[in-house]
Structure 1
Amino acid sequence: MLHQIKLPFLFSTLLCIAFTQNACAKPQTDSSFKSSYQSFIPKNWKVLEKTQGDLNQDGQADLALIIEDTNPENLVANAGVGNHVLNTNKRKLLILFKQESGYQLAASNTTLPNEGDVESPCLADPLGESEALSIQKGVLRVHLYYWLSCGSWYVTNHTYTFRYQNNAFKLIGYDVDDFHRASGESTALSINFLTGKVKTTTDENEFAEQTQPAKVQWSTLKHRYALKFEQVQFNQPQEFK
């Protein structure tokens, strides 16, 4: 009879103590959660591009943002060929998960190319004139465009494809297409990192009166890649073997 009284009393006492400690504990603040997406934008930065869509299959409209610093000290005068003023302000790419009462920072990357390049002043803004971000069917794509007004005839497009899996955004696809504005030659490379397959499409002359069928070759990557969003160097040439 004595044991039957003591055990419930002890349990109730411990429960009461635990409740009191939780009630008195200070609320935890999470710097990766904010009530609005604007709160993730640092002072004197601006939004260059924004797109939304469900990225983690919870039915919420998540966001992907490209933001840029606006420091006037990073506007560099150029007396040579190309643009007269080069905007070398840094850029960031943010992925935000929509929550019931705000947004959670899911991933970020600080390697996007700047609008202007001191070493290549003829280079147009790699974000291009069309959308640099897109979300479709739970997949995020980042599009970069390389066109030079002097020094090269090539126009190159890069597309990075990411999908949220195993609590991280993984690079599942990479596409590059080159077009020579003088010769009309074009080459397209498409890599599927899930299968390791590589598709290479070559067209010898798009300007020819009688176009020939494009040549398609398939190959397999020698190495396996499992790059996360944060690991991708958007401002560096990519080479996968």
Structure 2
Amino acid sequence: MLKQKIGCLLTTCLLANTLINAAWAKAETKAGYQAFIPHNWKLLEKVQGDLNGDGQADLALIIENTSPENIVKNDSLGSPELNLNPRKLLVLFKKPQAYQLAASNDFLPSEGDAESPCLADPLAEGEALAIKNGLLKIGLHYWLSCGSWYVTNHLYTFRYQDQSFKLIGYDSNDFHRASGDITERSINFLTGKVKSTSGKNEFAESRQPVKTEWTKLKNKYSLNLEQVKFNEHYEFK
């Protein structure tokens, strides 16, 4: 029953997103950023910075639907209720008299996860959204109260070029809560180089030297912000 209900919710959410995107396509420029937040949605995150090099303070927002229909009962481990309300990422360019929608993404993880009810909100810890040195950064933090000893962080870095936000960097690290072992991976999509680090330990100095290995990506990736599915785990190879 839960899976059927979730399927219906996802269909409803996709339809709602289609209608919202269609409305934005007709009116992409609005005076204040609040005008881009639909009725019954709320603002979760807001950061400011110049993203297109014009000296104006652009905005990046994360918004969330507040429909009570997307709050479902959980009979498994974890929270007794799961908030499956969809979230959106909006990037707004600052214009002289208004804001203009520059990009959006419909694939952010929700607060709750029906498949992993013990998973904490991936956007609740750390810096989920940032603009630094003209780059847009989205960070996800994965921690489960049951079923896994690992804590994993993902950081996606985007740069505005060729009229779109391109994924230029991806960083991840895994921490084992029992052993303290840490592994890290950093990808530069512009050069295709991958830096992998192992041997670090959170609790004590490692008995083994930290090992750093440089490799090259076998595949080429060219992803725009709209294409990246933050609610899925990528294995860039």
Q: If the TM-score is normalised by the length of the shorter chain, which range does it land in?
A: 0.7 to 0.9
- Tell me, yes or no, if the aligned pair for 1:205 and 1:211 is still in contact at 8 Å: no
Q: Which residue of 1 is the match for residue 161 of structure 2?
A: 165
Which of these residues, 183, 194, 198, is aligned with residue 198 of structure 1?
A: 194
Task: Tell me the distance in 2 between the aligned counterparts of 1:94 and 1:223.
Answer: 29
1:124 counterpart SS class: coil
Letter aligned with residue 31 of structure 1:
A
Letter aligned with residue 108 of structure 1:
S
Which of these residues, 37, 40, 43, is aligned with residue 41 of structure 1?
A: 37
Q: What number of residue pairs does the alignment pair up?
A: 213
1:222 counterpart SS class: coil
Which of these residues, 123, 134, 142, is aligned with residue 146 of structure 1?
A: 142
Task: Tell me the distance in 1 between the aligned counterparts of 2:137 and 2:205.
Answer: 35
Backbone CA RMSD of aligned residues = 1.4
Q: How does 1:37-116 map to 2 (within 5 A)?
A: 37-116=33-112
Letter aligned with residue 103 of structure 2:
A
Alpha-carbon offset, residue 38 of structure 1: 0.5
Structure 1 position 215 matched with structure 2 position 205: no
Letter aligned with residue 100 of structure 1:
P
Letter aligned with residue 173 of structure 2:
D
Q: Which residue of 2 is the match for residue 177 of structure 1?
A: 173
- Tell me, yes or no, if the aligned pair for 2:200 and 2:206 is still in contact at 8 Å: no
Letter aligned with residue 135 of structure 1:
I
Q: Which residue of 2 is the match for residue 18 of structure 1?
A: none
Percent identity reads 66
**TM-score normalised by the chain length of structure 1:** 0.85
1:150 counterpart SS class: coil
- Tell me, yes or no, if the aligned pair for 2:199 and 2:206 is still in contact at 8 Å: no
Q: Which residue of 2 is the match for residue 12 of structure 1?
A: none
- Tell me, yes or no, if the aligned pair for 1:52 and 1:135 is still in contact at 8 Å: yes
Change (3 A) 1:131 1:207: closer
Task: Tell me the distance in 2 between the aligned counterparts of 1:32 and 1:48.
Answer: 21
Task: Tell me the distance in 2 between the aligned counterparts of 1:118 and 1:131.
Answer: 24
**TM-score normalised by the chain length of structure 2:** 0.87
1:39 counterpart SS class: helix
Change (3 A) 1:85 1:106: same
Alpha-carbon offset, residue 226 of structure 1: 1.3
Task: Tell me the distance in 2 between the aligned counterparts of 1:60 and 1:108.
Answer: 19
Task: Tell me the distance in 2 between the aligned counterparts of 1:193 and 1:84.
Answer: 41
- Tell me, yes or no, if the aligned pair for 2:126 and 2:141 is still in contact at 8 Å: no
Alpha-carbon offset, residue 208 of structure 1: 4.1
Letter aligned with residue 231 of structure 1:
Q
Alpha-carbon offset, residue 204 of structure 1: 5.6
Larger Rg: 1
Alpha-carbon offset, residue 209 of structure 1: 5.6
2:226 counterpart SS class: helix
Alpha-carbon offset, residue 158 of structure 1: 0.3
Letter aligned with residue 54 of structure 2:
D
Letter aligned with residue 219 of structure 1:
T
Task: Tell me the distance in 1 between the aligned counterparts of 2:155 and 2:47.
Answer: 16
